Chain A
Amino acid sequence: MKLPYRWLQELVAVPDGVDAVAAKLGLRGFEVASVEQGAEPVIDFDITANRPDCLSVLGLAREASAAYALPLRQPDRSMPAAGPAPSLEVSLEEADLCPRYCAHAFEVLALGGSPEWMRVRLEAAGVRSINAVVDVTNYVMLEMGQPTHAFDLARLRSGALVIRRARSGERMRTLDGIERALEPDMLVIADGERAQAVGGVMGGAESEIGAGTRVMVLESACFKPASVRRTSKRLGLKTEASTRFERGADINAAPAAIARAAALFDQIGAARPLGGLIDRYPKPQPPIRLRLRGDRIARVLGVSVADGDVPAILGPLGFEVRTTPDAVHSAATERSEAPAFRAPSITARTPDAPRPSPFALPTWDVTVPTFRVDVLREIDLIEEIARHDGYVGLPATFPRLTAPQPPPDPRTLRDRTIKQVLIASGLSEAMTFAFVERAAALPFARETDPAALANPLSEKYAVLRPSLLPGLIDAAAYNRRRERRDVRLFETGARFTRDGENRAVAAVWSGAAAIPHWSGGARGVDFYDVKGVVETLCRTLAVEIAFEPASRPYFVDGRAAEVIVRRKADAAGAARGARPVDSGVSRKIAGEVGQITASALEARGFPANEDVFAFELDVDAIAALQPSGDVRAESLPRFPSVVRDLSILVDAVLPAASVRGTIRSSAPPTLVHIVEFDRYRGKGVPEDRVSLSLRMTFRSPERTLTDAEVDDGMERIVAALASAHNAVRR
């Protein structure tokens, strides 16, 4: 809302310059978008949706009059002498959508330009001058916030105005020249036959006033906000009128705006009234009366307001304030009538002072002016009290803590742990949008038709991501295009299917396995780097995992695995690594790890000949398998362990997990740990075989093991490996 400073001054004699006025109103809840200096200074306010009354010079002037404790001068609304009434029939058929409809006929005397003072003001407020009649209607709208519309009476069939719903299939050309299809829930102002205006939105071209207009009908109505908003949205037509009506208009502004227009027409000699005011107002609305309790003000704001301050604050804003007869006054708050416009003061409650007593404070009976459509209950009055000094007088206190808090959400803690592990593993955290291009999503979606947005910003953000990987691959490609070869990124967050959302964590890794160093040893990332991160993460989250070969459209064949997660059967036993968990324990496929295919990389602009490895895990699935309760500390081994290395030749395609399984099932219970420490193919090893070296640790919790019994155990292991896998000891 552009407020021309001189126009404001005409209504309130503000003593400050334009900047100071802007700052003062800014602190009362009217955010200043900009201040234009110059010959016609203008303050542009961002008016919040609750204050349609301040989409007007008068509304802002009222605020200024309250802020400066200066009187508000009301513009002239005296009705000039009227000529004889023409034939005009107004029937209001839809009082639900239009609670009040006023109209008045005017004889057009001169449709030329309006006087310079008016043109200057309109232009300062951002409105183009058209002709004397249109300028007056715009002037009234800017000044009072009440839109009006002028019809050419001669073009209204049967000299009638009918306020009704549009008929099915009805069409109308609006003032902007566009032919519009109307729908039956839209309100129109029609003549005897056809719609001549869309109520509260825009007038029609057919009955527009022009050079030939002799008699016009000025409409000034109050339309129902929700109806105007729906119609304006449906027609894609947002006007000065619809903006005001959809926020709520003053029911009493309808006749007042006609009187103001009449006075202005008279002042500039543009038109003279004919007949009397036609006012269709079937259900007059009494003004809202509210009870305002002094103790409630103190309870909400945390400060006591002196009794006399309530009328002093609310009065200038147009509220009628009466102290109710049953109000209880304490001796301390009893005082003589506050002088008008005395600057109110708010008293801070000191933190250790008792909260204000509810019995010492009075109650007021407040009548809400009809232009304040936002004030509906007591709390709205309390806001008026609070904002009068821009909250400057409000003390800064703290809410009391009166109860212990429930335990934190485990998801918050888990996410934090996951981030810590991955950052410590060398991955940096990325954040990507939750919506992606359909083509980018499809390969990763389990369903053929992933959850999509109805109104996406663009095709680039059309569907909800079914996986975090497309976003991460795009982020890696973005970095790769900017000379960054070594990209290690992860993200935690929601992914979506038509069955809802799910928390996941995913990562991509390209380039080097470690930070390059002058000492050499450079190596590109491989499957086991990424697998190691997954293992570390799952170990931290205290779940058992296993990997099985898998096939995915976006992973290179033979270089992808499913991550199978199981609950730890026995935390203590699992920590010793002694026994695999029972197969009966619940297990879930909780994710995957693999190398992204060249075609998937190329599709997202990453060089196809480079290796990118990735993983993604379902955090919710893992969470469901995490142990509850505390870790049990285990006593440390009291007897020494015996370590034995074993090198065997086995088939190159035999999974290491099978070898480990055979060893575990044939070994004595004293075997506590197995780890592969070498895998070799090449010279000295037959073509289809591989040399696998394992290190085994034996230990008893009760005694020191003898070489003989460990040897015996090793022999049984070797025999089992030979029979199960045709393994040959090297």
Chain B
Amino acid sequence: MDISSLKQQFTAELAAAASEAELRALRDKYLARKGGLVSALLKHVASAPADVRPALGRQANELKQHIDAQVGERLAEASARRPAADAVDVTLPGRDPLIGHRHPLTLLRDRIESFFLRQGFLIVEGPELEDDYHNFEALNMPAEHPARDMQDTLYLASPVTSATGTPATLLRTHTSGMQVRYMERYPPPVRLIAPGRVYRRDNLDLTHTPMFTQVEGLVVGDDVTLADLKGTLVAFAHDLFGPDRGTRFRPSFFPYTEPSAELDITCASCGGSGCAMCKQTGWVEVLGSGMVHPAVFEAVGYDPERYTGFAFGVGIERLALLKWGVEDIRLFYENDLRFLEQFPL
């Protein structure tokens, strides 16, 4: 058999070889030292006439190299395709580490605290059991004040010892008592937020729970203005709801602030055109605020002529409803893991 037909035969057989075993057999068939077709050819060359021997030898060697290279290439390809014996199935599920979730209210509280920390506020915490003085009286709400109706109070059956000295008689309806305590203790300037759980005698429904979480803020100094309050709260709303949200600062009433203001943002469900969510106004209420009433300063021994200040209070649950579209506030206290796990860690 001549060299070129041998080469053609190899080419055909190489194309037909599918497995690595077939490729190795093919290489042996041609190149095996004993009985290989090309080995036999080379032996035959040795006995060829001297004038054709060099050319024949060169061609036979070229064929040998060709076959070796071709089979080698195909074997490399096949081996690259073959999975290792100890290969893993990368598509099977991984082993999840145990990791819990922050409660969404904590998530939001952390976020709010982080905003105010960036603006230089201090975080203070205080007791949940309060006395009437710190919860109401010092805040310009004496007994029989009609504004006490705004905060229906849960009272203790009998007074309980409190860390602050005076016996506690009620569950705090806001964290303002903490602000009063802080002002009683420290002179201005004051720049703080007081986050915590507060309690009101509200029946459970879509927007009420008898316990909820509040963040109140207080800034007092020589030079604090209503415009400063507006600037701070608008920045806060933009931090929480995005810089494109419309904001509105509007007069309101609280006994402990004068002037008082509420902050509204444009309604997310209708974008401001009016819908059932926003009672057709295009706006939803976010928080209450105002300039600290001089009577509050007088109660804590600050000179209301010298100092001015602002205060605000916001329910974290309400912010969560607005921010995440939660439809039922009770979900925050049912602790259904299917709900809790929806929020980012």
Using CB atoms and an 8 Å cutoff, list the residues of chain A in contact with chain B. Answer: 23, 26-29, 31-35, 48-51, 225-226, 229-230, 246-247, 299-303, 348-349, 355, 377, 379-380, 382-383, 386-387, 390-391, 394-403, 405-406, 408-409, 411-412, 416, 419, 422-435, 451-457, 461, 464, 475, 478-479, 482, 484, 487-490, 493-494, 496-501, 514-515, 517-519
Task: In the A-B complex, list the 7 residue pairs whose CB atoms are closest, starting with the nearest.
Answer: A426-B98, A302-B225, A302-B227, A29-B251, A48-B253, A396-B231, A383-B259
Q: Is the CB of A29 within 8 A of B338?
A: no
Query: B211 within 8 Å of A by Cβ?
Result: yes
Instruction: Mark the stretch among B10-18, B58-66, B79-87, B216-224 that contacts chain A.
Output: B216-224
**Residues of chain B with a CB closer than 8 A to A406's CB:** 122, 186
Of B98, B204, B231, B291, the contact of A300 (CB 8 Å cutoff)? B291
Interface contact B149-A500, CB-CB below 8 Å? no
Q: Find out whether the CB atom of A379 lies under 8 angstroms from the CB atom of B294.
A: yes
Assuming the contacts A453-B154, A453-B155, A456-B154, asked whether A424 and B210 have C-beta atoms less than 8 A apart, the reply is no
Minimum C-beta distance from A415 to chain B (A): 9
CB of B281 within 8 A of chain A? yes
A-B residue pairs in contact (CB < 8 Å), sample of 23:
A48-B252, A49-B150, A51-B253, A303-B227, A386-B226, A390-B251, A397-B225, A398-B231, A399-B223, A401-B191, A405-B191, A406-B122, A408-B122, A409-B125, A423-B345, A428-B101, A431-B103, A431-B335, A435-B154, A475-B334, A478-B335, A484-B338, A518-B93
Residues of B within 8 A of A499 (CB): 160-161
Mask of B21-44 contacts with A, CB within 8 angstroms, 1/0: 000000000000000000000000
Contact, CB under 8 Å: B157 / A423: no
Query: Which B residues from 157 to 208 make CB contacts under 8 A with A?
Result: 157-158, 160-163, 168, 171, 186, 189, 191, 197, 199, 201-204
Most chain A CB within a 10 A radius of its CB, from B225, B231, B332:
B225
A308 to B226: give the CA distance in the assembly, Å: 21
Judging by beta carbons under 8 Å apart, are A394 and B226 in contact? Answer: yes
* A-B interface contact total, Cβ < 8 Å: 271
B326 at the interface (CB under 8 A from A): no
Which residues of A have CB within 8 Å of B273?
none
Point out the residues of chain B lying under 8 angstroms from A424, CB to CB. Answer: 99-100
**Residue contact A399 to B228, C-beta cutoff 8 Å:** yes
Which A-chain residue is minimally distant from B150 (CB atoms)? A49
Within 8 A of A (CB), among B258-298: 258-261, 279-281, 291, 293-294
Closest B residue to A402 by beta carbon equals: B189
Neighbouring A residues of B209 by C-beta, 8 Å: 433
Find chain A residues with CB under 8 A from B261 CB. 391
Query: Given A401-B120, A408-B122, A488-B100, are A355 and B223 neighbors across the interface (CB < 8 Å)?
Result: yes
Chain B residues lying within 8 Å of A395, measured Cβ to Cβ, are 227, 230-231
**In chain A, what residue has the closest Cβ to B228?**
A399
1/0 contact string of B89-104 vs chain A (CB within 8 Å)? 0001101111111110
User: Are B146 and A49 touching (Cβ within 8 A)?
Assistant: yes
Known contacts being A412-B123, A452-B156, A496-B160, is A402 close to B221, with CB within 8 Å?
yes
Is A431's CB under 8 angstroms from B252's CB? Answer: no
B221 touching A387, Cβ below 8 Å? no
A433, B198: Cα distance in complex, Å: 11
B319 to chain A, nearest CB (A): 15
Within 8 A of A (CB), among B301-327: 308, 310
Would you call A515 and B227 a contact (CB within 8 A)?
Answer: no
A35 B101 Cβ-Cβ under 8 A? no
Using Cβ atoms and an 8 Å threshold, which residues of chain A touch B186?
406
- Any chain A CB within 8 A of the CB of B250? yes
Instruction: Knowing A399-B228, A475-B335 are in contact, say whether A405-B120 is a contact too (CB < 8 A).
Output: yes
Residues of B within 8 A of A500 (CB): 127, 129, 160-163, 168
- Check B225 against A455 for contact (C-beta < 8 Å): no
> A391 and B251 in contact (CB under 8 A), knowing A301-B227, A457-B210?
yes
